[in-house]
Chain A
């Protein structure tokens, strides 16, 4: 494609199958404590 550059093509939909394992870090344990940010966290699902 000439006019569109895709930064991420990941479809979140796919994560419904094996998601929700809960092994990733809790949002407020990282560095916030007063907001809620999950978009910057990494998945830690061993079976993804």
Chain B
């Protein structure tokens, strides 16, 4: 399968099954578009009036060369491999610990409903947290790298437990031959020097929640009394980010209210942040801030606008990383990783404050997805197995999509919330994802051009 597109003056050809990416001239671009359904004579006949016979001969020769090297028109031979891979015994390697189902902000789009996740306010006890880490160690097979994200609600509302769990995890690393990567996702309200110092010693990454320009942030991320949070949080995040040597993300959400979200990304860059992620809100379509299908043209154009500015700033030596434009074309993940799905429900689990397991943080509170708990382990194997067999080839919409090697079939929770099944796909999300991939690759082409 080939995916070809033009963006910012570049003609890009992606050979999906091999992972090869090519930048081509107009002749090759047009010839490739005809290649599968037309004979060479037909291509010559159609394109000679535009480019001349010699140019087309040359283009066809180069195309043939890439085909011979298995870099163009290669077949997808991975279905059986990935299906078998997913049948292997499951190990758990990552936990999202909901250490606090409580929050000191009242963000309007919060899927955790101001931290409560359709349930009650609660803080995770140290005992439950330790049990969760024990479960992770015991069920991680021979995986060395184990990931634990302290999540909420707002995890800093249960900071002592976070610290003690980090100490507990570290105390078990050597005896178990494991290495914990702790991360934390915080709104920053309670950040102070002590917390920053601790995180700089112990946390492999910190995700700092902020939405962008003051008016954008404060509209959606107010305190419970309605006051905006930007002013309180930004100076703390700036200080924290400066001390992290790049190991952080300032992460925002854009909604129908700020479809010009590239301005928020650039606002972050102008504030001095250089590790940035801003993602589309995912919400019920009835919400006033929900992203709608008719918003897509503007959103896709906005990604293009951001990509052009992104390249410009990189070339000027004041670049930044935008999470969704990062793409690793040379040392990227293996085919198994790319097609096996995100790992929710199998290698990745969310743990509630009272120790219940769910397939991921976005399923917490959906009782039919309750998988078990830290005391009894995974007891709902039926739902676990449903997630286990969920992969790109289990999804009709993904099987022939060019993006499948980059998004891994998308988010199971989004699929469930929009279609009632985890093997569908959230269509608006897919359109944005495809655009981000196209932009990411175009950026690589543009930066390679400079070299």
What is the interface of chain A, defined by CB distance below 8 A to chain B? Answer: 1-13, 15-16, 18-20, 22-45, 48
Are B414 and A34 within 8 A (Cβ)? yes
How far, in angstroms, from A34 to B96 measured CA to CA in the complex? 13
Main secondary structure of the interface of B (DSSP, over half): mixed
Contacts of A18 in B (CB 8 A): 334
- Of the residues A26, A30, A35, A40, contact of B343 by C-beta under 8 Å: A26
Query: Would A28 and B277 be within 8 Å (CB), given that A10-B330, A35-B411 are in contact?
Result: no
Instruction: Kindly provide the distance from the CB of A27 to the nearest chain B CB, expressed in whole angstroms.
Output: 5
How far, in angstroms, from A34 to B348 measured CA to CA in the complex? 14
How far, in angstroms, from A3 to B445 measured CA to CA in the complex? 14
Contacts of A19 in B (CB 8 A): 334-337
8 CB contacts below 8 A, A to B, read: A6-B71, A13-B17, A16-B335, A22-B93, A25-B145, A35-B410, A35-B411, A39-B332
How far, in angstroms, from A35 to B436 measured CA to CA in the complex? 12
Query: Would A31 and B207 be within 8 Å (CB), given that A11-B19, A23-B144, A36-B410 are in contact?
Result: yes
Contacts of B19 in A (CB 8 A): 8, 10-12
Contacts of B360 in A (CB 8 A): 28
Chain A residue nearest to B412 in the complex (CB): A36
**Interface membership of B228, Cβ < 8 A:** no
Query: Would A43 and B331 be within 8 Å (CB), given that A7-B22, A9-B71, A37-B406 are in contact?
Result: yes
Known contacts A1-B62, A35-B407, then 16 further A-B pairs from the complex at CB < 8 Å, ordered by chain A residue:
A4-B23, A4-B28, A4-B66, A6-B20, A6-B21, A7-B22, A8-B329, A11-B71, A19-B337, A25-B147, A26-B147, A35-B433, A36-B342, A39-B440, A43-B333, A48-B334
**Interface membership of B183, Cβ < 8 A:** yes
Number of A-B contacts (CB under 8 A): 218
Q: Give the interface centre of B22, B69, B147, B332 by most chain A CB atoms within 10 Å.
A: B332
Are B333 and A41 within 8 A (Cβ)? yes
Please choose the segment from B125-133, B187-195, B211-219, B319-327 that sits at the chain A interface, where 4 or more of its residues have CB less than 8 A away.
B319-327
Are B342 and A3 within 8 A (Cβ)? no
- Of the residues A10, A15, A38, contact of B407 by C-beta under 8 Å: A38
Chain A residue nearest to B93 in the complex (CB): A22
Contacts of A9 in B (CB 8 A): 20, 69, 71
Are A40 and B440 within 8 A (Cβ)? yes
Are B59 and A40 within 8 A (Cβ)? no
Contacts of A22 in B (CB 8 A): 91, 93, 143, 337, 347
Are B93 and A35 within 8 A (Cβ)? no
Instruction: Kindly provide the distance from the CB of B312 to the nearest chain A CB, expressed in whole angstroms.
Output: 20
Are B22 and A26 within 8 A (Cβ)? no
Question: When A and B form their complex, which 4 residue pairs have the shortest distance between CB atoms, in order from nearest?
Answer: A19-B334, A39-B406, A20-B336, A15-B334
Query: Would A42 and B411 be within 8 Å (CB), given that A28-B360, A29-B149, A34-B362 are in contact?
Result: no
Are B21 and A11 within 8 A (Cβ)? no
Instruction: Kindly provide the distance from the CB of A21 to the nearest chain B CB, expressed in whole angstroms.
Output: 8
Are B277 and A20 within 8 A (Cβ)? no
Are A43 and B22 within 8 A (Cβ)? no
How far, in angstroms, from A32 to B151 measured CA to CA in the complex? 13
Please encode chain B, from 131 to 150, with 1 for each CB lying within 8 Å of some chain A CB and 0 for all others: 00000000000011101010
Are B24 and A4 within 8 A (Cβ)? yes
Are A7 and B207 within 8 A (Cβ)? no
Query: Would A7 and B444 be within 8 Å (CB), given that A1-B65, A12-B18 are in contact?
Result: yes
Contacts of B330 in A (CB 8 A): 8, 10
